[in-house]
Structures are given as C-alpha cells and as structure tokens.
C-alpha cells in the first residue's frame, strides 16, 4: 500500500479471538466482501498466540489476505503477534503507558526521560518487525492519548501528531520503515486536522511521508455512521491524503466493506477531469483560510443566511404541485384540527419550487426560492426570492435591491467567474448557489470559494449538489464527502441537495443490502441535517459515539445501541457514547457528555464526561439508569 498503489480497504473482526472458528468464519466473510486486510484484536499473550491457529486455518482454506494484530497496552502480546501476522497495530497512547489521568507538569528533562523509557520498551518490537518483515501501524486515537502528551499538548490534533511522531522517530532510528500511521477521532474535524498536520510535520522533519490509514472512530451505525466516515475519510482523500481506509460502523464488519468501496470508488474515472484552476496562477499569496484550524468564512450580514446563522437547508421540490402534507418530509407537520404547523428540529429553511408557487399559508420559518420570471409575477411577497443563472445575472444591468440567489457552476469559464466576483462587490443582496459540473466537484467549488475570499467577496453561499445515476448508498457518500469537506474548511452557509430518484431503483444491484429510502425529500433533508451535525456546524439531534465492537466487547453492541437510540433520540445536542469495554471505552469516547460502557459480563458502568457515576450496574436496568443519569443532569426532556 502507499506510493501510488490502490487505496486498500480493510476492517476488523468483532469475535472473541480465542473463538477460532468464529474468528475464521468472520474473517472469511470480510475477505469475500472485499477486505484486503483484516485486523484481529490481541488483548493479551493468549490471543496473540491464537493468531497462529487462526492464520493457519485461513491459509488451509486458501485465504491469503494479510492479517493485522490490534494491540493496546501489552507489548508482550505485540512481540508474539509480530512473529505471526503480517502487521501489528500499536496505539502510542497506551502501548507502554497505562492511562492514569495524571496531569503533571513535565520539565524538559523529565519529558526526555519518558521518551527514553518508551525507546527501551518499544525498540524490541521494532527489531522483531524488522527481522520478520512485519509491517506496523502506529495508530493514534484522539480519545486515548498518553498522560504525557495530554499534559503538554492537551487532546489536540498537534498532540495526536506528536504522539505518533515519538514512536516514528524511534523506529526510524532503527532504520525500520515498514510503517503506516493513523490519527483517528470520532470528530471528523479533529481527525482531518490531525492527518493534515501529520503530513506537514513528516514532510518538514523527514522530507518524506509514510503511508496513512484513514478512519473515523466510533462513527456509529446506519446513515449517521456512513456520513461521519465519508466526511472524515473523504475530505482527506480529496486532499490526496490516504492509502488505506477503514469505516468503523457499529454493524457486522463485512458491512463496512461496501461503504469503503463507495468512498474509494468515487475516484474511478476522474483521471481526465477538467483541471481545477491552479492556485498559484491567480493567487500568488498565502492560502486565505487555515486548513489546520476551523474558522467559518466571514460573510455579509443577512436576516437568515451567513454571518451569525447556522447553515441553512434548502429542500428541492422543483416544478411540482406542493400540498401541505408534502412538507412533512422536510420537518413540517400540518395539524388540520388546530390549523397550526408543528416544526421539527430538522426542518428545512427554504424550499425551491422552480416555476411553481404555493397556494397555502406556509409555516413561518419556511421561505421559497423560485425562478426569476415566476418571482416577477408575485406581488410584494416577503416569502419568495428569485434565483437566476450566472448568464442571466451577468447580463442584468442593475442589481436587485433585495435578497436573490444566483446558480453558479464553478466549472464555468474562469474569466466569467472572475467578472462575477467583480460584479458581486456592488451587490450585497446576492446569495451564491455553488455547484460544479467538474468530476472533481469539491475542489472545484473550494477553488472558487478561495478566490472569493482572496478578492474580499463576502456574499454568503450555499453548497448545491446534484446526484444522478447512483445508488442511494453512493449518493449518501457523495453528498457527505463533497458538502462535508467544504464545511470542515469553513466554507458554506447552507446545503441544497437533489437527485433523480427514479433512476436509483433501476441501478440497485442484487446481492447487496442498500439503505432504504421511503421518501426522497425526507432522505435528502435528513442527509443535509446529518452532514451539518457531523461537521458540528448545526446540531439538530442526539449524537451517538458507539464503538464498532471487537473481541473485547462485553454485550450486544448493536442491540444496545438501538435500545439507547430509541430511548434518547429526541435529546437534541446530547452526545452519548456506547462502548463495548472498560479497557479502551472510557479513553476512546472522546468528548461524549455521557457514557454507557461494558465493565464485565452483564455489567455496565455509566459515565458523565470522563467521570464514573455508577459502577457495574446490572445490564437489565442500565438503560433506565442512563435515563435517570440524564435526568439528574438536566439533559433529559420527555419525548413529545
């Protein structure tokens, strides 16, 4: 992998490593689904030794895919596994250090003494790997940094980078280079910044970069898990960063592989895309935004879009007759008895009607975007706003004196786009709807946004993405990657998604389970709000951070996650972690507000932040106890 090889897809088993038959069977299912590497947990020496039995059985059945041992805490297990499997993964946050949550001020001399201690413990593994030709992943996790790193850098992206660099320098001193690195976090923003920083740091310090394994940890399940993963992994792949990927879903591992393939599959056939305008050609100055720190692009003030507002969502109902009940799909439920609208937390802000108008009273929070010629026929409505094409806007003599939208293909002739930016300097009412016909869509939109920033144009813009001829799963990945990547860099004051769902039914293939779409407008609206939630730019629902489970898991994670989700999915903005084991769970639940962690067979320990609140609760009553914990901390409201 790396160095121009295809981006490899991989996953990790969830079985008990001592259950050879189950682990072999699950590994085979993963390989048959397309996994090119399979990782198996080795929490102690006995599991590490059993990797040999598993490997031999797989080889006996004709499966030769490389295996990876997943190690936390136990150097002696790593040293055994490194003699058996093709790769070992170590977590520099806990390979040698037990986490004590001690925040000590280290002097430089004490810090260096710690590094020497790591060198003594880590070097034997490096030498074994070198001798056996075994590869190694130095896999940093945002949630499990060592006390030493936390004390000096906090749980920051730069702390994650330094955590890996400490180990990498030791390996390089031994002239061992069969290394890959990862910087995982459950927060795509943190993860993207950490990988970018790592690349920069390796380049600065060594003048060369090692391959990277990309992943978002504890992404959860269903659409949300896929969206979070696509945003984190996809944004980096768009940057040209990443050599192998794992999507961590709280689902059986073989279901992760099609998602990986959809993410990687986006790059097939892009070789001859229209070149995106070179940055150096027109902006020979520093990048006007910081790819290592989130700052939302500054925009002109407006009553609803841009500065001071969360990104808006536009629902696409072009050219069809709209009835009150149609709006239920985008968060508005009309109650005939009371003649009132009930508005959900994920209710769209605008509706695009094309050449249609609406003949009933709209909910107060919903406004309409319609074609310019239709808008001209509507007398003085403060609910309707026109949209024009770039050509129509450029040929209009006078700017409009109220809010209006311009549909812009950022793949259009660059000189025309530059003239547009000049014209916009005198038009504070324009909102730009940015899409791109370029196969390299996200970078094309980002390039235009960079030019707007460089030239001081502060009109708000909405990210407009169309998807046709793709499966539902591919659309989800496409929307999440292209919109998410822009939002993570601070670009975008709204999202507008649409597709041709009629085409989708024809291309769903047999032999694979696809996400089910009952209502297309609802699918698009949910996807838009989930992208905003995953980029933490607009919070409209509960957030779940659930581990993918592995051989250490102490309960049925999928069933429990579903149970907790059912009980709590009305708690907007609350972050709940559901973690399979007490060994890694508390460290890896990152910035969750509350944690539900397996602490023994049939036992759950509940956390508020990183603090244990109830230890070893019987699992039969643990969900109720979690609800009580939410109530005690004023994080609970009764469901509507």
Minimum gap (Å) between residue 12 Cβ and ligand SF4: 8
> 587: which 2 tokens?
């460290």
Minimum gap (Å) between residue 244 Cβ and ligand SF4: 18
Closer residue to ligand SF4, CB minimum distance, 525 or 584: 584
Closer residue to ligand SF4, CB minimum distance, 42 or 531: 42
Minimum gap (Å) between residue 141 Cβ and ligand SF4: 9
Closer residue to ligand SF4, CB minimum distance, 260 or 597: 597
Instruction: Mention every residue, 6+ apart, whose C-beta is less than 8 A from residue 339.
Output: none
Closer residue to ligand SF4, CB minimum distance, 504 or 578: 578
Closer residue to ligand SF4, CB minimum distance, 14 or 299: 14
Question: For residues 351 and 330, is the Cβ–Cβ distance under 8 A?
Answer: yes
Measured CA to CA, the distance from residue 86 to residue 586 in angstroms comes to 29
> 212: which 2 tokens?
């990277």
Measured CA to CA, the distance from residue 55 to residue 24 in angstroms comes to 8
Minimum gap (Å) between residue 541 Cβ and ligand SF4: 23
Give the Cβ contact number of residue 325 at 10 Å.
11
Closer residue to ligand SF4, CB minimum distance, 184 or 470: 184
Minimum gap (Å) between residue 2 Cβ and ligand SF4: 25
DSSP-derived pairing of the beta strands 244-245 and 213-214: parallel
Burial of 511 (C-beta count, 10 Å sphere; 0-12/13-18/19+): exposed
Q: Cα–Cα distances in Å, from 364 out to 297, 367, 387?
A: 28, 8, 21
> 66: which 2 tokens?
């490389």
Minimum gap (Å) between residue 548 Cβ and ligand SF4: 5
Q: Cα–Cα distances in Å, from 461 out to 11, 302, 312, 464?
A: 38, 12, 10, 9
> 150: which 2 tokens?
């936390």
The residue with its CB nearest to ligand SF4 is: 580
Minimum gap (Å) between residue 162 Cβ and ligand SF4: 23
Closer residue to ligand SF4, CB minimum distance, 460 or 583: 583
Instruction: Mention every residue, 6+ apart, whose C-beta is less than 8 A from residue 163.
Output: 92, 93, 140, 145, 146, 149
Minimum gap (Å) between residue 198 Cβ and ligand SF4: 22
Instruction: Mention every residue, 6+ apart, whose C-beta is less than 8 A from residue 329.
Output: 315, 519, 521, 522, 525
Range list of β-strands (E), 390-460: 404-409, 430-435
Closer residue to ligand SF4, CB minimum distance, 443 or 586: 586
Closer residue to ligand SF4, CB minimum distance, 306 or 551: 551
Minimum gap (Å) between residue 67 Cβ and ligand SF4: 17
Q: Could you list the residues that contact ligand SF4 (CB under 6 A)?
A: 547-550, 552-553, 579-581, 583-585, 588
Phi, psi of 69 (to 5 degrees): -95, 130
Question: For residues 352 and 317, is the Cβ–Cβ distance under 8 A?
Answer: yes
Closer residue to ligand SF4, CB minimum distance, 495 or 554: 554
Q: Is 146 helix (H, G, I), strand (E, B) or coil?
A: coil
Closer residue to ligand SF4, CB minimum distance, 253 or 443: 253
Minimum gap (Å) between residue 70 Cβ and ligand SF4: 8
Minimum gap (Å) between residue 262 Cβ and ligand SF4: 23
Q: Is 334 helix (H, G, I), strand (E, B) or coil?
A: strand
Measured CA to CA, the distance from residue 77 to residue 80 in angstroms comes to 5
């Amino acid at each position: 992998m790396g160095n121009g090889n295809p981006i490899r897809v991989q996953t990790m088993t969830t079985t008990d490593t001592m259950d050879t038959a189950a682990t072999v069977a699950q590994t085979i299912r993963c390989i048959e689904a397309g996994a090119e590497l399979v990782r198996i947990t080795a929490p102690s020496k006995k599991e590490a030794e059993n990797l040999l039995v598993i490997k031999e059985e797989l080889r006996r059945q004709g499966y030769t895919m490389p295996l990876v041992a997943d190690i936390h805490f136990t150097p002696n297990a790593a040293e055994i596994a490194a003699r058996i499997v093709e790769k070992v993964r170590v977590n520099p946050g806990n390979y040698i250090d037990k986490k004590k949550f001690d925040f000590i001020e280290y002097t430089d001399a004490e810090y260096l003494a710690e590094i020497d201690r790591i060198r003594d413990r880590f070097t034997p593994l490096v030498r074994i790997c070198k001798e056996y030709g075994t590869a190694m992943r130095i896999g940093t996790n945002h949630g499990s940094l060592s006390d030493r790193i936390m004390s000096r850098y906090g749980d920051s992206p730069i702390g994650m980078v330094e955590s890996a660099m400490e180990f990498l320098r030791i390996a390089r001193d031994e002239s061992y280079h069969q290394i890959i690195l990862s910087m995982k976090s459950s927060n795509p923003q943190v993860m993207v910044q950490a990988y970018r920083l790592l690349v920069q740091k390796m380049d600065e310090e060594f003048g060369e970069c090692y391959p990277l394994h990309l992943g978002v940890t504890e992404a959860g399940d269903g659409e949300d898990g896929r969206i979070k993963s696509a945003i984190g992994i996809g944004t980096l792949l768009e940057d040209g960063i990443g050599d192998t990927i794992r999507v961590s879903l709280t689902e059986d591992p073989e279901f992760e592989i099609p998602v990986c393939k959809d993410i990687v599959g986006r790059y097939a056939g892009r070789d001859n895309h229209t070149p995106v305008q070179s940055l150096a050609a027109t902006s020979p100055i520093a990048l006007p935004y910081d790819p290592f720190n989130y700052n939302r692009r500054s925009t002109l003030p407006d009553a609803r879009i841009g500065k001071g507002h969360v990104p808006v969502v536009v629902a696409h109902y072009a050219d069809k007759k709209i009835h009150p009940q149609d709006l239920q799909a985008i968060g508005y439920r009309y109650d005939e008895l009371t003649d009132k609208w009930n508005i959900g937390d994920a209710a769209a802000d605008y509706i695009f009607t094309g050449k249609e108008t609406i003949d009933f009273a709209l909910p107060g929070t919903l406004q309409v975007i319609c074609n310019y010629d239709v808008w001209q026929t509507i007398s003085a409505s403060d609910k309707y706003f026109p949209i024009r094409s770039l050509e129509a806007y450029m040929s209009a003599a006078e700017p409009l004196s109220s809010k209006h939208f311009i549909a812009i293909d950022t793949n259009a002739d660059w000189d025309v786009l530059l003239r547009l930016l000049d014209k916009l300097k005198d038009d504070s009412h324009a909102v730009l709807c940015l899409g791109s016909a370029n196969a390299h869509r996200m970078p094309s939109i980002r390039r235009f946004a960079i030019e707007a920033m460089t030239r001081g144009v502060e009109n708000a813009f909405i990210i407009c993405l169309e998807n046709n001829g793709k499966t539902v799963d591919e659309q989800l990945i496409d929307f999440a990657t292209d919109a998410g990547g822009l939002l993570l860099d601070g670009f975008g004051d709204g999202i507008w998604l649409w597709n041709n769902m009629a085409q989708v039914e024809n291309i769903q293939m047999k032999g694979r389970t696809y996400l089910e779409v009952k209502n297309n407008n609802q699918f698009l609206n949910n996807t838009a709000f989930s992208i905003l939630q995953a980029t933490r730019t607009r919070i409209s629902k509960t957030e779940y951070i659930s581990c993918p489970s592995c051989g250490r898991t102490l309960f049925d994670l999928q069933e429990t996650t579903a149970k907790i989700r059912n009980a709590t999915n009305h708690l907007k903005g609350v972050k709940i972690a559901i973690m399979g084991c007490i060994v890694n769970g508390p460290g890896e639940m990152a910035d969750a507000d509350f944690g539900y962690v397996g602490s023994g067979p049939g036992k759950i320990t509940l956390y508020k932040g990183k603090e244990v609140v109830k230890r070893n609760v019987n699992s039969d009553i643990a969900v109720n106890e979690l609800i009580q914990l939410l109530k005690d901390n004023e994080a609970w409201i009764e469901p509507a």
